[in-house]
Structure 1
Amino acid sequence: MCGRYANTKSGEELGRYFEADEVDAVAMPPSWNIAPTQQVPIVVDRLPKDDPEGVPSRFVTSARWSLVPRFAKELVSKYPTFNARSETVAEKASFKSSLVRSRAILPADGYYEWHTVEGADGKPIKTPHWIHDPVEGELAFAGLYSWWRPPVAEGAAPGPWMLTATMLTRAAHGPAASIHDRAPVMLPRETWDDWLDPTIEGDEALVEMIVSESDQVLERLQLHAVAPLRGDGPELIRPLG
């Protein structure tokens, strides 16, 4: 799983990196300690509203990190939805409709994972590690998005729509597998277009393809232990010692 990550690039910087056609005006302050339910930058491809047969355009905007499907009655679910397992995403009710046409990239400088060992007293000792790509310097997590708004009571005005998102996870591979058995699905550049394209119907085969292609990113990751995550600043990713 992935429950903490960092993004320090502005919307404009992400727009240039992901070759976006448009960047939302929503401010995206840098953060080295992004947690579920916070607003995060996402990259999506969308069709023109007045021409569903037109050419998709790429858009950088922000979303709430924890996907809420349209059928949900409440914003907060008793089940966590900030991650979606790639092995079951095509069948889970919360995610399967988004997989078809509403796929996204969640950009990241890197992410954190905790290595757990048993201490002398038998209690678990968890050490956070910072994991990043030294080649690209940027990670593109495969994600899904969903628009949601609360049910409207009779006679009441409807509330605003909220954009929500999740990231896919997979069995860990490469260096990150030494500290945890799960990892985000990280897209190499050549898979971005197929994953984001809303004219391509997302299914289990598409997920299997991006999981396989993500091996090349996982194999080149680097990691080091860091201090317990408190606050928010560049000191969080400094190596211990």
Structure 2
Amino acid sequence: MCGRVIVDYEENMDVAADSALAEWVLGVPDGARSSWNVKPTEAIPIALTSAKDGRRRFELARWSLVPPWATSLASKFPTFNARSEGVAEKRTFAGPLRHQRCVVPVSGFYEWSGPKGARVPHAIFGSEEVLPMAGLYSWWRDPALEGRDAWHLTATILTRQSAGVMAGIHERMPVFIADELVREWLDPETSGDQSLVDAVSAEAVPIAEHLREWTVRPLRGDGPELLEPAD
């Protein structure tokens, strides 16, 4: 699973000029701030292509997908991650999968290993400055509000069985998206189905083999000092 991410806009969010994602990740989303301890329900950056007008957008979204029919932002079950296996059959995620797919570009993330009560956090980074993850997004309208304030952009990160470096840390890992699949994944005219998810998930394996990781101290507060290796 993926329950904490790192987003450093000042140091580690420079997308390579020849990356497909560079067409979406331009500047910094309004209201964004760097954080080394982003938690579910907090803001994460997402790249998407509007299904309405085809415009490429780089926005902040609430990290926990809320389907349009939900009665509130608070969910009875966690939706910050979505299992890639069988995701097309899940009511909460099937709709967004068809035409509301996104990429979540982060600087890195954390995962924990070890038994309950003695879990050890690991800081994990990719081979490039930005580690892109496949996600889904949804708009939720608050019936108590009017106008633009009523609309909330929400998102989830897809996960799969761990491979590569992640295999020795946790049984699940994010679905890292390969550069050659970014345009298809972000094209709302491509109707998303399980076969598309499976193709993207399969290409996450080579990326996982080149991750960098080290253990850190328990996560308390926020700041770059959280990345200091544990003694």
TM-score calculated relative to the size of structure 2: 0.90
2: CA distance, partners of 1:208 / 1:58:
24
Instruction: Give the match for residue 108 of structure 2.
Output: 110
1: CA distance, partners of 2:196 / 2:209:
21
2: CA distance, partners of 1:98 / 1:229:
32
Report how far residue 46 of structure 1 moved.
2.1
**2:130 matches 1:127:** no
Report how far residue 200 of structure 1 moved.
0.3
Report how far residue 74 of structure 1 moved.
1.4
2: CA distance, partners of 1:34 / 1:9:
13
Alignment equivalent of 1:214, drawn from 204, 218, 226: 204
Deviates more, 1:189-198 or 1:143-152: 143-152
Instruction: Give the match for residue 226 of structure 2.
Output: 236
Compared CA separation, residues 8 and 25, structure 1 to 2 (3 A): closer
- Check whether the contact 1:20–1:59 (CA below 8 A) recurs between aligned residues: no
What do the CA deviations read for 1:73-112 (whole angstroms, capped 9, x no partner)? 1111110000000012111111100000000011111110
TM-score calculated relative to the size of structure 1: 0.87
Alignment equivalent of 1:188, drawn from 161, 171, 178: 178
Instruction: Give the match for residue 61 of structure 1.
Output: 59
Instruction: Give the match for residue 88 of structure 1.
Output: 86
One-letter amino acid of the structure 1 residue matched with residue 226 of structure 2: L
1: CA distance, partners of 2:139 / 2:28:
16
Compared CA separation, residues 213 and 25, structure 1 to 2 (3 A): closer
Report how far residue 160 of structure 1 moved.
1.2
Alignment equivalent of 1:139, drawn from 128, 131, 149: 131
One-letter amino acid of the structure 2 residue matched with residue 4 of structure 1: R
What do the CA deviations read for 1:122-142 (whole angstroms, capped 9, x no partner)? x63100001111x21221010
Report how far residue 157 of structure 1 moved.
5.0
Report how far residue 28 of structure 1 moved.
1.0
Report how far residue 179 of structure 1 moved.
1.3
Unaligned stretches of 5+ in structure 2?
none
Pairing 1:10-49 to 2, within 5 Å after superposition: 13=14, 18-20=21-23, 26-47=30-51, 49=53
2: CA distance, partners of 1:194 / 1:165:
18
What do the CA deviations read for 1:5-36 (whole angstroms, capped 9, x no partner)? 101126x9569662236667512111100000
Other structure's SS at 2:60 match: strand
Other structure's SS at 1:9 match: coil
What do the CA deviations read for 1:163-216 (whole angstroms, capped 9, x no partner)? 000000000001111011000000111111111110100000000000001111
Report how far residue 149 of structure 1 moved.
1.1
Unaligned stretches of 5+ in structure 1?
50-55, 118-122
Identity of aligned residues (%): 43
- Check whether the contact 1:172–1:181 (CA below 8 A) recurs between aligned residues: yes
TM-align CA RMSD: 2.2
2: CA distance, partners of 1:89 / 1:81:
12
